[in-house]
Amino acid sequence: MQKKVLLNANQIDIIINRLVCQLIENHHDFSNTVLIGLQPRGIYLLQKLLNVFSKNHPDKKITSGNLDYSFFRDDFRRNEKLININPSKIEISIESKKVVLIDDVLFTGRSIRAAMSSIDSYGRPESIELMVLIDRRFKRELPIEANYFGAKIDTIDDDKVNVVWGNNKANNVVYIEK
């Protein structure tokens, strides 16, 4: 299996800073915004964003949470293996909030559909946006697109995109396995 680096640590760092700036551009003081990391992998990108906010923009008071959408997936009972469930932690009402869902990779769009259904359990948001680090084009199965993305890549079905978060940011890397 061939492994090719798509984004190195430096590129990821630049992208995360850019994503933070784009969020500030659209959400200003974040008073009515909630950032939601999607389990299991989106929570790491959320954490990196929060680190940048607290370091570079301490005046922004960010509300965030983690969402597991397993019970809303459309492939329940379609696999031999049980769907892995992770904890959700959303301690505020989502009613009339601007929600930004955060995940590492956008692929078929089915996870995002499940997440959008799931977030409704916490209230009716004013709007939902999507942020991803990697947008895998040409494999969408639903009409879902990201509002904010780190990089768009072209892949074929069998390719595997891995986002690896290291112990420190120098070890962060995104690679593709063919």
Partner 1 sequence: MGQLSVNNLLGIKYIKKQDIDLIFDTADHFKEVLNRPIKKVPSLRDITIANLFFENSTRTKLSFELAEKRLSADVINFSSSSSSIKKGETLIDTVNNILAMKVDMIVIRHPNPGAALLLSKNVDSCIVNAGDGTNEHPTQALLDVYSLKERLGDLDGRKILIVGDILHSRVALSNIYALKLLNAKIKICSPLSLIPREIESLGLSVETNLDKALSWCDAVNVLRVQHERMEKSYFPNDREYSLLYGLDKKRINKLKKDILILHPGPINRGVEIKSDIVESNNSIILDQVENGVAVRMAIIYLLASKMNISKSHETV
Among 160, 66, 81, CA closest to 115: 66
92 binds partner 1 (CB under 8 A): no
Query: Binding residue for partner 1 (CB under 8 A) from 5, 14, 21, 85?
Result: 85
Interface map 114-133 toward partner 1 (x if CB under 8 A):
---x--xxxx----------
Burial of 119 (0-12, 13-18, 19+ CB in 10 A): buried
Instruction: Specify the DSSP element, H or E, that contains 173.
Output: strand 173-177
4 binds partner 1 (CB under 8 A): no
Q: Near partner 1 by CB under 8 A, which window of 6-14, 66-74, 147-155, 167-175? A: 66-74
In angstroms, rounded to a whole number, what is the distance separating the alpha carbons of residues 23 and 111?
22
Interface map 9-48 toward partner 1 (x if CB under 8 A):
----------------------------------------
Residue with tokens 């768009």: 152
Beta strands in 53-172 (DSSP E): 63-67, 98-106, 127-137, 148-154, 160-164
142 binds partner 1 (CB under 8 A): no
Binding residues (CB under 8 A) for partner 1: these are 68, 70-72, 76-85, 87-88, 93, 95, 117, 120-123
